[in-house]
Structure 1
Amino acid sequence: MPDYAITRDRVEEYFDRTATTAWARLTTDAKVSRIRQTVRAGRDRMRATMLARLPEDLTGMRVLDAGCGTGAMTVELAQRGAQVLAVDISPQLVRIAQDRLPDTLRGNVRFHAGDMTDEAHGAFDFVLAMDSMIYYTAPDIAAILARMAPRTDQAIVFTLAPRTALLMAFWGLGKLFPRSDRSPVMVPHALPALRAHVGSGLDRVARISSGFYISECLEYRP
């Protein structure tokens, strides 16, 4: 996945060197701007939407939090009894997630800084990938799912940016900046076009719109 590797490395650099402090603040109860409040609220709603796709009791199940960020999803999965592997490409974010994890849940969670698709992670009952695939093209997403699916027993629940007029406008503006001067740009997707790459087993769950946060929850069953 050569294109995937290039984008993955840019995402790592962005979150490790540029956005760590802002991301850490956004994912707490700290005061933020009104725009970021809408993003925070949207992310909270999306996390709840994704978790609703899994059983309330995850005791005995192994779950991959693919792109764990600062660990909010990891905590909720562990509270349900899951054995969680929390992976993020950014070592800085992984350290924040480790620091925020309650001591009572440490026996349920293992952290790893690296590639979420690494086959060395082993097999899982579920994979959750919240906003960690939003920077990739349809062929890359198909390759990511193809790599994870043989090791996922039940479902891969993930988010993408839907192909709306607003997001397409942002995407177009982002492409005007020199690549070295801008953050990784999320790639909007239309579900029919994505299905052409991924194949059967891909379904839309819900779309969350909250100010500048517009995201779509999808589910892929191998």
Structure 2
Amino acid sequence: MASYDQTRNRLETYFDRTAAKTWEALTSDAPVSKIRQTVREGRDTMRAAMLAQLPDDLNGARVLDAGCGAGPMSFELAKRGADVLAVDISPSLLDVARARTPDTLKSQIRFTAGDMLDPDYGSFDYVIAMDSLIHYRADDIANALAKLAPRTREKLVFTIAPKTPFLTAFWLMGQAFPRKDRSPQIVPHSETGLAKAMKAAKISDQPRKVTRVSRGFYISQAMEVAV
């Protein structure tokens, strides 16, 4: 399987070039297909569930929105008073996010293109990573969290692709019939497998399941690590 860097480079190509317009539409109010509508609704539900794990009042808190895309999570964090560093590998989606940022929130959000694990970004009170780790192997996810945990004062909230029969079948089909032009493959994980990988990465606090959202073609599971 691909390494973290190989997967990241492929994601950058996909989200910044191949599917930038698709994701711009998906994260807007524009009409989309029925399948994409279920993804939109699932993502909205997941975003609300992840935000529910953070305080309503984030005044004075510095938050990393890791894999911010077009910015909907960043906007909600800023509305709660947070100082948000919004990082994404797609400059195209960041341009969309900047254009959509309400004037009242612009002073609280800094959008930047790059790797969400870059140590130069400093430390945070909270890290939130919605669907930005779902394309990676368990050891890559664990190693990413191991890099972020020492720089996080309170909590990491992230999502994984749960190991359901549906997602596993899609993953196996992708392995059997690879295509250069297909979207980046989602890698399903069990909670046990992820916990084992995190233990190997020397993360003392084990992940806790927050919720699972299943809406049509959108299936994702929120986890958190208190640090």
TM-score range, shorter chain: over 0.9
Spell out, residue by residue over 1:106-145, the C-alpha distance to the aligned partner (whole angstroms, 9 max, x if none): 1101111000000000000000000000000011011100
For residue 210 of structure 1, the aligned residue among 203, 206, 215 is: 215
Task: Identify the residue that residue 61 of structure 1 maps to in structure 2.
Answer: 61
Contact map agreement 1:174 1:182 (CA 8 A) in 2 = no
Deviation at residue 19 of structure 1 after TM alignment = 0.7
Other structure's SS at 1:180 match: coil
Aligned residue in 2 for 1:221? 226
Distance (whole Å) between structure 1 residues aligned to residue 96 and residue 124 of structure 2: 24
Please name the residue that 1:41 is paired with.
41
Matched, 1:96 2:96: yes
Give the Cα separation in 2 of the matches to 1:184 and 1:39. Answer: 16
The answer to whether 1:174 aligns with 2:174 is: yes
Deviation for aligned residue 1:170: 0.9
**Pairs within 5 Å for 1:22-171:** 22-171=22-171
* Counterpart amino acid of residue 130 in structure 2: M
Deviations 1:23-58 (A, max 9, x none): 000111111111111111100000000000000010
TM-score, structure 2 as length reference? 0.95
Structure 2 unmatched ranges of 5 or more: 200-204
Query: Helix, strand or coil: the match of 1:57?
Result: coil
| Post-superposition offset of 1:95 | 1.0
Moved more, 16-25 or 2-11: 2-11
The DSSP-based 3-state class of the residue aligned with 1:167 is: helix
Q: In the alignment, is the contact (CA less than 8 A) between 1:4 and 1:136 conserved in 2?
A: yes
Quote the offset at 1:178 in angstroms: 3.2
> Partner of 1:54: helix, strand, or coil?
coil
Looking at structure 1, the residues matched to 106 and 191 of structure 2 have their Cα atoms a distance apart, in angstroms, of 38
- DSSP 3-state at the match of 2:37: helix
**Residue equivalent to 2:206:** 201
Structure 1 segments unaligned to the other structure (5+ residues): none
Q: Secondary structure at the match of 2:176?
A: coil
Task: Say whether the 8 Å CA contact 1:127–1:156 is kept in structure 2.
Answer: yes
Stretch moving more, 9-18 or 179-188: 179-188
- Give the Cα separation in 2 of the matches to 1:124 and 1:42: 27
Q: Which residue of 1 aligns with 2:14?
A: 14
Q: Percent identity?
A: 57
Q: Between 33-42 and 45-54, report the one with greater CA deviation.
A: 33-42
Distance 1:175 1:89 in 2: 25
Task: Tell me the distance in 2 between the aligned counterparts of 1:108 and 1:137.
Answer: 33
Amino acid at match of 2:211: A
Structure 1: how far apart are the matches of 2:138 and 2:218?
Answer: 21
Where in structure 1 do 4 or more consecutive aligned residues deviate above 4 Å? none
CA distance in 2, matches of 1:179, 1:121: 35
User: 1:179, CA displacement in angstroms?
Assistant: 4.8
RMSD: 1.1
**Aligned residues between the structures:** 221
AA in 1 matched with 2:214: S
Q: Aligned equivalents of 1:107 and 1:17: distance in 2?
A: 28
